[in-house]
A and B are shown apart, each in its own frame.
Chain A
């Protein structure tokens, strides 16, 4: 039955059937051929897949991010980052990365982060004499920080599927997200130095203060979300809604770049993106039900354990699989497809679910900037009009640096687990 399931799935994918439907249909074929289970069960499983209050955090985080992006936040974050570090060698590249880190704390998605900051930064970088490819690679790679810095839609998905605490996952993403920011800045600095990309004139203290003041309302948003969740004031889903309302209020009254018509447009577009992700979650629910009932993860675990029983080896094998999967799967797809397979294995060898969740999101974040299917690359191509081939080449130094960081995080769990362990509220 497991073989039928995978063969059917792969054939459907090759035929270009949408992945959500391929997940449901391959399960249906396996059920029809090997059991006399009623297909009604499948419909119930699909329905049950999205009948979850926690999953509702996803549409609200998408909506909050889109509202903030339309409300004029990106410009303000870029200005603030600019006054802080614009003076350094490769200033504009560093500014892009720091602005992406700020923006990641508002948005839960990597492509959205690349789109928001890329739209503001690519042109000024070109004008300043940076190569187009380098500018595009910078915003593509920096966008992935958005997946690690809370809130993160990918982490919500993992948390729901693996049953891990979303609050803890969010906290655990902070340090790796910041390290990612520093690592990428290191790469940018080195390249800029070699190519002689200069910095801007240093900003005065007054300018720093003014740009801080104009972006403070946006920077407060993550504090409201995280503080609210850990203070026991709201659930992650409620925190996401509060973020939406907060975004609407500052967009309407403080930054005055939103109006009712724009909000309705954003609502509908965010609803559409939500449906794409959640439909996938719904149909994946049948798929993972069959995986579990056939004990496929357990069999895979046996196989891996026969190679090595060392948790670290298992961890690395999974990381390699994830990096590979990330090159052609969108990260939401990879999470809903692979968490039910890999999570039981990590439980068996005693790997912490929060630790593993962050590593998984990190590995898949790298997949967002690897060809052939890297959403951040596509977004950056669109903005900069650089071809995907040239961009794929320019992004290599960033990729190497991120993979090195991933290995380090694998070896030192305390880096990821420090905040969730020591956070006392």
Chain B
């Protein structure tokens, strides 16, 4: 189980990193094109800003999952690090991760709910009628799901003592 989970998380992480680079790169090109079109071709693009904003949302929520795996989310580790007993420290870290997983679980459940509802209502982008807004909403549950699975792996590693530092950093 553990090895399968590890493998899934690795693939998800590759996917997430790909999305981060792709959306960031595309955002940059879109906004630059917007400036060029306005000043060089004297024509304003109506859709570039909206599309870039949607990519930005994907970048944020999918990128957050990479940060979970790499433990770069900002936290205050001062108290936990000063605990004398390794057992208590481990318990604190596990508890912190389980609480985080509760939050992420709610985001996954309600996120999918909202996204599929918006998709059902066929709400489309104002400037790009072919783009359904529901797809943009999927960034929240998908990113949260990847984070959730990464936290399971991190927790198992803490229990198995593979990783002394445990927790998120």
Contact = CB atoms under 8 A, between A and B. Distances in A.
Interface of A: 12-21, 24-25, 28, 38-40, 42-44, 46-47, 50-53, 55-56, 59-60, 63, 233-234, 237-238, 241-242, 244-245, 264, 267-268, 270-276, 278-280, 282, 328, 330, 332-333, 372-373
Contact of A17 (B75, B106, B137): B75
Interface in B39-94: 39, 49, 52-53, 56-57, 59-64, 66-67, 70, 72-80, 92-93
B27 A56 contact: yes
Contacts of B66: 272, 275
Given A20-B74, A271-B63, 20 more contacts: A19-B74, A20-B64, A21-B100, A21-B103, A21-B104, A25-B99, A46-B107, A50-B57, A234-B35, A238-B31, A244-B28, A244-B32, A245-B28, A245-B32, A268-B21, A274-B24, A274-B60, A275-B66, A372-B78, A373-B78
A81 B36 CA distance: 34
B21 A242 contact: no
A244 to B, nearest CB: 6
B31 A241 contact: yes
B123 interface: no
User: Which among B17, B21, B31, B110 has the greatest number of chain A C-beta atoms within 10 A?
Assistant: B31
Contact of A13 (B61, B76, B103): B76
Counting chain A CB atoms within 10 Å of each CB, which of B39, B57, B60, B66 scores highest? B60
Contact of B73 (A60, A270, A276, A328): A276
8 contacts: A17-B75, A20-B74, A40-B114, A43-B106, A241-B28, A241-B31, A271-B21, A271-B24
Given A17-B75, A51-B57, A25 B102 contact: yes
Nearest to B23: A271
B25 A267 contact: yes
A242 B104 CA distance: 36
A13 B27 CA distance: 34
Contact of B60 (A16, A50, A267): A50
B103 A24 contact: yes
B12 interface: no
B49 A53 contact: yes
B154 interface: no
Contact of B72 (A39, A56, A264, A272): A272
Contact of B74 (A14, A15, A330): A330
Contacts, number: 176
* Residue among B56, B61, B72, B104 with max Cβ neighbours from chain A (10 Å): B56
A332 B72 CA distance: 14
B34 A59 contact: no
A280 B92 CA distance: 22
Nearest to A275: B63
B96 A17 contact: yes
Contacts of B67: 272, 275-276, 279
A18 B103 CA distance: 12
B24 A270 contact: yes
A42 B102 CA distance: 14
B64 A275 contact: yes
Given A51-B57, A272-B63, A272-B70, A59 B75 contact: no
B140 A43 contact: yes
Nearest to B168: A18
Contacts of A14: 76, 79-80
A39 B64 contact: no
Given A272-B63, A328-B76, A242 B102 contact: no
B70, B103, B104: most-surrounded residue (chain A CB, <10 A): B103
A279 B61 contact: yes
B141 to A, nearest CB: 8
A280 B74 contact: yes
Contacts of B62: 275
A18 B20 contact: no
B96 A16 contact: yes
Given A16-B93, A19-B75, A328-B78, A275 B103 contact: no
Given A59-B24, A276-B64, A241 B32 contact: yes
Interface in B104-130: 104, 106-107, 110-111, 113-114
A342 to B, nearest CB: 20
A246 to B, nearest CB: 10
B100 A18 contact: yes
Contact of A16 (B25, B76, B106, B139): B76
B110 to A, nearest CB: 5
Contacts of B106: 28, 39, 42-43
A36 to B, nearest CB: 15
A17 B99 contact: yes
Contacts of A47: 57, 137, 139-140
A256 to B, nearest CB: 21
